């Protein structure tokens, strides 16, 4: 994407409600899908939206092919929304969760929580991250878990999981087939999520206010039916941070630098833990994307942003926090990664709720 195309980008926020159990597995076994993720990966949400738009006629074959070779529709991961009802007023509040940083801790005994970036020294080669509860000693890191702030306390919210078992039936005999028993672990229906999107204006202006999509595995068996509410965001205010500390809302591909649309991000330090994962399914090539090493969401990143065209700087910074930057690996593009928001925006998220 060139700098001129970046100027046509539109930014959106979405609220997702699962209408049926949804399979977002972290592990696939011989007998089914287990251990659902706590969030919906950005690439999964992106694929679900593009598929729905194509089926409804909002985008054509050419757009889908172009998205496979030059992604312009980008999405952050979708994180759970916690619903709380105030005991006095009975008012319902919706809290957006975020991935906890490595500097977020909780005492396993009394539940006291601490969030502090001051304990991380970017100049240190071997960061010493240890926080102690005044009464009970060392606290446990909540790194990468979905958390929200309620009052002065940081709480974990993990979506409710359901377990389902199914068996294949012989088409002619009408009896269960031996060795064809499958188990599924899925996120329960009714769970809500929030996410951000970035896309070209010509696609954004076609979007309805609500869209029904299928997310995750097993859509032919009724899993993954979801309702997506779409909200356009025009204000670029507050997106001027070009250097300093950022928080990764997505898994981070550990590159020292990456570029997009005439802008470059230079990363000098990352605080987080790595993992290996398959990077999705390439629909155009009809195969799994490669196994890659990533840094878990919630990583603390020291970075600097430079754009050739100064006018694109604000837009690019907002793109980083609304969709991340696609990375080309071999013949395929990886999306849903490297979503970075300034640390002050991350802290601001912690302090509020959705009315």
Specify the higher pLDDT residue, 120 or 1: 120
Strand order in the sheet with 146-150: 98-99, 146-150, 153-156
Judged against a pLDDT cut of 70, whether residue 263 lies above it is answered with yes
Residue 145: pLDDT band by 50, 70, 90 thresholds? Answer: very high
- pLDDT tens digits for range 74-124: 999 999 999 887 777 778 888 999 999 999 999 999 988 988 877 776 666
Calculate the alpha carbon distances from 326 to 72, 260, 305 in Å.
Answer: 9, 8, 16
Judged against a pLDDT cut of 50, whether residue 355 lies above it is answered with no
Burial environment of residue 49 by CB neighbours within 10 A (0 to 12, 13 to 18, 19 or more) = buried
Lowest average pLDDT, out of 59-68, 105-114, 123-132, 136-145, goes to: 123-132
d(CA 229, CA 271): 34
Alpha carbon 261 to its chain's center: 22
d(CA 337, CA 60): 26
DSSP-derived pairing of the beta strands 176-187 and 161-169: antiparallel
Half-sphere exposure at residue 215, Cβ-oriented, CA atoms within 13 angstroms: 36
Which residues on adjacent β-strands are paired with residue 291?
278
Lowest average pLDDT, out of 116-120, 157-161, 246-250, 282-286, goes to: 282-286
What average pLDDT does this structure show over 338-354?
A: 80
Judged against a pLDDT cut of 70, whether residue 2 lies above it is answered with no
Residue 19: pLDDT band by 50, 70, 90 thresholds? Answer: very high
Give 205-214's long-range contacts (Cβ < 8 A, gap of 24+). 205/10, 206/53, 206/58, 206/59, 207/12, 207/53, 207/58, 211/49, 211/52, 211/53, 211/56, 212/19, 212/52, 213/48, 213/49, 213/51, 213/52, 214/48, 214/51, 214/52
- Report residue 237 as tokens: 């205010």
Q: What is the mean pLDDT of the chain?
A: 85
For residue 6, the surrounding DSSP H or E stretch is helix 3-6
Judged against a pLDDT cut of 60, whether residue 312 lies above it is answered with yes
Residue 109, pLDDT score: 92
Judged against a pLDDT cut of 50, whether residue 354 lies above it is answered with no
Residue 306, pLDDT score: 92
**According to the per-residue pLDDT averaged within each range, which of 29-43, 113-127, 311-325 is highest?**
311-325
Task: Name the percent of the chain lying above pLDDT 70.
Answer: 82
Residue 59, pLDDT score: 92
Question: Token pair 């529709």 is at which residue?
Answer: 73
| Domain positions in the chain | 3-81+162-350
Largest CA distance in the chain: 69
Residue 44, pLDDT score: 93
Residue 333: pLDDT band by 50, 70, 90 thresholds? Answer: confident
Q: Spelled out in words, what is the top-level CATH class assigned to the domain 3-81+162-350?
A: alpha beta
Specify the higher pLDDT residue, 9 or 124: 9
Residue 118, pLDDT score: 72
What average pLDDT does this structure show over 317-340?
A: 90
Q: Which residue, 310, 309, 318, is CA-closest to 341?
A: 318
Burial environment of residue 116 by CB neighbours within 10 A (0 to 12, 13 to 18, 19 or more) = exposed
pTM comes to 0.89
- Report residue 271 as tokens: 């605080």
- pLDDT tens digits for range 152-185: 889 999 999 988 777 666 566 665 555 555 678 8
What average pLDDT does this structure show over 142-156?
A: 91
């Amino acid at each position: 994407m060139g700098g001129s195309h970046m100027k046509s980008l539109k930014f959106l926020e979405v609220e997702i409600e699962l209408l049926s159990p949804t399979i977002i597995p972290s592990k696939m076994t011989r007998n089914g899908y287990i251990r659902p993720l706590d969030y919906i990966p950005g690439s999964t949400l992106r694929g679900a939206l593009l598929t729905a738009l194509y089926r409804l006629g909002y985008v054509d074959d050419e757009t889908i092919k172009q998205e496979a070779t030059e992604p312009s529709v980008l999405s952050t991961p979708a994180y759970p929304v916690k619903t709380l009802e105030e005991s006095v007023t009975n008012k319902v509040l919706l809290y957006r969760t975020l991935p906890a940083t490595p500097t977020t801790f909780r005492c396993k005994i009394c539940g006291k929580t601490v969030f502090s970036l001051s304990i991380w020294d970017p100049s240190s080669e071997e960061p010493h991250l240890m926080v102690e509860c005044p009464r009970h000693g060392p606290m446990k890191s909540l790194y990468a878990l979905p958390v929200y702030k309620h009052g002065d306390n940081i709480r974990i919210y993990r979506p409710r999981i359901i377990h389902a078992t199914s068996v294949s039936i012989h088409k002619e005999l009408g009896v269960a087939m031996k060795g064809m028993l499958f188990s599924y672990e899925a996120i329960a229906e009714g769970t809500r999520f929030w996410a951000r999107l970035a896309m070209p204006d010509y696609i954004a202006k076609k979007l309805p206010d609500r869209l029904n999509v299928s997310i995750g595995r097993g859509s032919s068996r009724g899993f993954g039916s979801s309702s997506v509410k779409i909200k356009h965001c025009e204000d670029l205010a507050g997106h001027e941070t070009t250097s300093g500390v950022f928080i990764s809302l997505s898994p981070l591909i550990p590159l020292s630098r990456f570029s997009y649309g005439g802008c470059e991000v230079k990363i000098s330090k990352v605080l987080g833990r790595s993992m290996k994962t398959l990077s999705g399914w390439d629909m155009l090539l009809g195969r799994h994307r490669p196994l890659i090493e990533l840094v878990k969401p919630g990583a603390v990143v020291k970075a600097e942003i430079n754009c050739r065209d100064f006018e694109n700087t604000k837009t690019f910074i907002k793109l980083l926090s609304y969709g991340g930057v696609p990375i080309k690996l071999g013949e395929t593009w990886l999306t849903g990664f490297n979503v970075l928001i300034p640390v002050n925006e991350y802290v601001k998220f912690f302090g509020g709720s959705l009315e």
